[in-house]
Structure 1
């Protein structure tokens, strides 16, 4: 039984890789938190995205994704809620101030709570209507009433794990001490650039 789904699984892996490495709001948030706060913050944010992916999987398999995509009020609520959160983060970045101190170690960086790190990743992905449409398009093509539950679970696991692995890699790269020493002096400008990017991503969501 498993062998007959191998072509679909291979295709889903390829699609998941392309989807996850495409720059977007998740990438911007994990990069910002890893670079300006800590590796731990980035990894926890990656787990937030991982959990949000399972949320998408759950409602897609339940058929709710189709309802959301065909109900303008629900779809617009998700879209504008996601855009509002991105604008909130963007404004925080644009108004951040530089204390002029370059950290000597990762522990010298400003702190952010685990809850805030997780929430940033989770909300960013959960309120992204593009992700909702992605799951709708994927699961309506590969899942049928005859698809076994363990295969459906495997489909969700592939997508969620791809996101977790990629964003952990992003967190590890952008939290390296060598990189921090080189660019932390530009912290305020990095915040500004990230703020602009997040606001632009919000605008893109609004006009999706």
Structure 2
């Protein structure tokens, strides 16, 4: 029972972090609107699963190694920026809007597989340096050194589930008929907007990597 206050604090901090707009939100938003609920849910599960990756390296001390080794953190940031830039460029290259019936057929035929959507969600979150810093701070500052490993594992499982649940909730909301119909009216301009957001995030990561090397 003495660890309940710590768990509630972790849950609160995690809720704020997961609800903040970022690469994960952009991916789920694009998939939900363009490909529908099932694809977006698969990406959401991938994002949640990637939380376990962050938890594992934090427990093993690898997060601290990444943070305290400048070139390794820079490499991590560049890899993440490259992947986000790739996704952004793919979105920007989306074709012009087609009539609604043809657009639905095109979207279905061009939709990624469930595995590919899951992988996109997993890699997007797994390569996110901000997530690395968040979990490093979480395990170094908020979670007490005397907290048993079993409790830390429970915290990690909770955050993975909560993350997947949050983005699954967004997937359901964004694919409601009226919401999705409204967003689809914007056609390829919506995709281009999401692409621009992803490219902006990629450039922000590159800028941060350069700044860290200069200092």
Instruction: Give the alignment's TM-score, normalised by structure 1.
Output: 0.93
| Counterpart for residue 83 of structure 2 | 85
Q: Name the residue aligned to 2:120.
A: 120
**Structure 1 residue 154 displacement after superposition:** 1.4
| Structure 1: stretches of 5+ with no match in the other structure | none
- Quote the Cα distance in structure 1 between the aligned partners of 2:81 and 2:5: 36
Aligned length in residues: 206
Matched residue, 1:100: 98
User: Are the structure 2 counterparts of residues 175 and 108 from structure 1 closer, same or farther at C-alpha, using a change threshold of 3 Å?
Assistant: farther
2:162 aligned residue: 162
Per the alignment, do residues 99 and 105 of structure 1 end up closer, same or farther by CA in structure 2, a change over 3 Å counting?
Answer: closer
| TM-score, L = length of structure 2 | 0.90
Q: Does structure 1 residue 16 correspond to structure 2 residue 14?
A: yes
Aligned to 1:49: 47
| Structure 2 Cα separation of the partners of residues 20 and 92 of structure 1 | 25
Report if aligned partners of 2:42, 2:118 keep a CA contact under 8 Å in 1.
Answer: yes
> Is 2:25 the counterpart of 1:27?
yes
In structure 1, what is the Cα distance between the partners aligned to 2:188 and 2:134? 35
Please give the per-residue CA displacement for 1:26-76, whole angstroms capped at 9, x wherever unaligned: 000001001100101111101111111000000000001000101112111
Q: Deviations over 1:4-28 (max 9, x none)?
A: 1111111001001100100111000
Contact 1:16 1:158 in 2 (8 A): no
